[in-house]
Each structure stands twice: as C-alpha cells, then as structure tokens.
Amino acid sequence: MRQLKLSKAFTLVEPGPVVLVTTHDGDKGNIMTISWTMVLDFKPVFAITTGEWNHSFAALRDRRECVIAIPPVDMLDKVVGIGTCSGADTDKFARFKLTAVPGRVVRAPLIKECLANIECKVVDIVRKHDIVVLEGVAAYVDPARKEKRTVHAVGDGTFVVDGRRMDRRKLMASKIPEGL
Amino acid sequence: MRQLKLSKAFTLVEPGPVVLVTTHDGDKGNIMTISWTMVLDFKPVFAITTGEWNHSFAALRDRRECVIAIPPVDMLDKVVGIGTCSGADTDKFARFKLTAVPGRVVRAPLIKECLANIECKVVDIVRKHDIVVLEGVAAYVDPARKEKRTVHAVGDGTFVVDGRRMDRRKLMASKIPEGL
C-alpha cells in the first residue's frame, strides 16, 4: 500500500461507498460493515452512524480509534458477510480470509485486500444521534489493486456498482481546495 | 410524482448520490447542492453537513424544514451550477430552469425534474460539527423519469455515475426491515 496525502482521504469516502471499519479492543481486531458515512468538510474528517447495537462500538468508544477500509466490488460478498455476523463470536479476519496489516498510528488494523485504508482517531461521539466523528491521521491506497470500482448500499439488500466517471473539475474550480 | 412509502425513503439517500436541498425563507425558495449526507437508521432520518457558509443555512435554521431532491445524471451540470453560485444573488429555480412544486407538509419546494423528493423537518442542529439532522415526513418518486442513474461526488470535481445493480437480498435478509 502506498501512502496517500491526507488532504485527499475524503475523496475515498465522499462518493458513498460501503466501507469496512476495523477496531482493536486491546486483545483482538474486529471488522464491521458501514454504509452510513458522511464527509464533514474538505478535510479528512468523517461521521459514521454506529452505536451499542454494533459489537465494534465498545472498542471504538473505549480505544477511540479505528480504520476505514474501502473494499472494491469483488469483495461484496465478504462485505455483506461481515455485516451479517458479529465479532462477539466470530474472528472475522479468519472467517473472511482477510489480512490484517499493522497501521502506523492506530492499533486497529488495515485490511490488505482493500483499495484504500484510512487510520482514524475518534474526535467525538454524538450519543443523541449515534454519530461518531472521526479524523483521519494517515491514509493509504493500493495502486496495484486492479478492481477499482466500489459499491454503494441501497439499504434494501441491493447494491449499485460504480459506473463511468465524469469530469467537472473546470466548472467546480472555485469550490475545490488546491492540490486535489 | 407518486408518493413513496416513508419507510423506503432512506434507500434514496443511502447509496450516496449528490442531492439538491431546497429551502424557503418565507419569501422565496432556494436550492443548494449537498454531497455530504448520511442515513442515520433504517428510518427516514438523515444527516447533512452544512453551516453558515451556505446561504441556505439561515432558512434551514430558522424555518426548520427543507426538501431533499435526488437528481439523476442528466442534471449533473445543473447540480454543479447550483453548487457554485449563491442564493444571495441568484434565483436558482429561474437560472437553472427548474420547476418548484409545492410540498404537502413543508413550504420548501419539491423539484419536479428530480427522480425523487423527500420533505423533511429539522430535528436537530449539531453546531459543533455543522451537522443538521433531518426527519423525512413525506416522500415522492417520479416513475416516468427515464434516466434513473444518480451521480456520486468524489469531491475533487469528478463524479461517478451509477453502474449495474447487484442483488444480495437473500444474504442480507436478517438485517433488512420487513416490507423493503
């Protein structure tokens, strides 16, 4: 994996792909599937919706760090599988044959098979709305990963795969931070 | 436009399309482009990131209502145009030749040309993070709209169009609310 400029990390999350979020509780790593994500600025700051109903929430709350990993479409069945079992009784890295790679800043592991990974610190937990605010502290992409299309959850059990890309950089020049 | 069951409204936002958000300040309607959105539950409850930097924010804060409209890809240039000018000096409905349709519950207008519209009430404004929490109160889709592909902002001036759909309803049956 190649390090990515942190200023570009929000472009991994903004299009709305389903992501995998890893945590580490001090003893072992775990993974959850999250499609409820939001970018909070033209910065590596993100919100995700999670709470007590996710086993990973305790590690996120207590350790205050995680990794957002971006899976491409060829991982869809693993993504769905991860989202429909619990770390309470399952070692998801083993069950889904995923490779945990140590991060540089946080103890939550990167996922080698993913397109990109963002190491994050928890900035705040807005309990009233079950929103966790994260700040990216390091980001990586795997340029060698051939499948680059991500997948978007509709929420009803169907998913939409990335189609073609359209360029409106010139029209949006006034809004986009320099260097993107 | 045909009324959509409110329980299905979150499926319009969860895949992460760029949306248009309309407001009404008591005098006139306005539109902003928002790609920073998140679903908060399997319910018509949404978060968007916005704040004082958007002219629409004052109307959203004061009137506590808005409409989330979902534009298909054939509206991309209007979506970008709406996001790069201000309601402070522009009548965006006139400039972008969009048709304001009265909602049933809120005064913010629906946009006739969009695929779908969700009338929303403001539930809360989390000022610390510039997050506005919305609850849908009525939703509509236009089944006659031929172009159904939505578009996802990458954040760098490029956009990804919806590609093919993949069905994982069976695998996800345990997680999906009944009736979706």
Q: Which tens digits make up the pLDDT trace of B133-144?
A: 999 999 999 999
First-to-last CA distance in chain B?
20
| H helical segments located in B43-142 | 56-63, 76-83, 92-95
Distance CA B158, CA B153 (A): 6
Q: Look up the pTM and report it.
A: 0.97
Tell me the β-bridge partners of B118: B68, B139
Residues A35, B40: C-beta atoms closer than 8 Å: no
Distance CA B18, CA A13 (A): 13
pLDDT at B179 over 90: no
pLDDT at A146 over 90: yes
Pairwise pLDDT comparison (B179 vs A113), residue with the higher score: A113
Residue A44, helix vs strand vs coil? coil
Query: Which site among B33, B38, B161 would you substitute to test the A interface, given the most A Cβ atoms closer than 10 Å to its Cβ?
Result: B38
Distance CA B151, CA B35 (A): 10
Handedness of CA A155, B76, A44, A123 (dihedral sign): negative
pLDDT (0 to 100) of residue A178: 83
Residues B155, A35: C-beta atoms closer than 8 Å: no
What is the torsion angle, in degrees rounded to the nearest 10, for the CA atoms of residue A152, residue A158, residue A164 and residue A166?
-50
Residues B157, A173: C-beta atoms closer than 8 Å: yes
pLDDT at B180 over 90: no
| H helical segments located in A3-142 | 10-13, 56-63, 76-83, 92-95
- For a pLDDT cut of 90, what percent of chain B falls above it? 94
Q: Is the ipTM of this complex over 0.90?
A: yes
Residues B38, A37: C-beta atoms closer than 8 Å: yes
Work out the mean pLDDT of chain B and round it to a whole number: 97
Residues B133, A130: C-beta atoms closer than 8 Å: no
Distance CA A145, CA A152 (A): 19
| pLDDT tens digits along B42-96 | 999 999 999 999 999 999 999 999 999 999 999 999 999 999 999 999 999 999 9
pLDDT (0 to 100) of residue B96: 98
pLDDT (0 to 100) of residue B39: 97
CB A45 within 8 A of CB A6: no
pLDDT (0 to 100) of residue A119: 98
Query: Which site among B4, B82, B129 would you substitute to test the A interface, given the most A Cβ atoms closer than 10 Å to its Cβ?
Result: B129
pLDDT at A179 over 90: no
Chain A hits for B73, Cβ within 8 Å = 166
Q: How confident is the model at residue A26 (pLDDT cuts 50, 70, 90)?
A: very high
Chain B hits for A170, Cβ within 8 Å = 157
Residue A153, helix vs strand vs coil? strand
pLDDT at A163 over 90: yes
Distance of CA A1 to the CA centre of its chain: 15
CB A39 within 8 A of CB A10: yes
- Nearest-CA residue of chain B relative to A74? B166
Query: Which site among A148, A172, A178 would you substitute to test the B interface, given the most B Cβ atoms closer than 10 Å to its Cβ?
Result: A172
CB A161 within 8 A of CB A151: yes
Minimum distance, in Å, between the CA of residue A113 and any CA atom of chain B: 21
The residue ranges of DSSP E strands in chain A, in sequence order, are: 2-4, 19-24, 29-34, 37-39, 45-49, 65-70, 100-101, 110-111, 116-126, 131-141, 151-153, 158-167
Q: Give Cβ neighbours of residue B89 (< 8 Å, ≥ 6 apart).
A: none
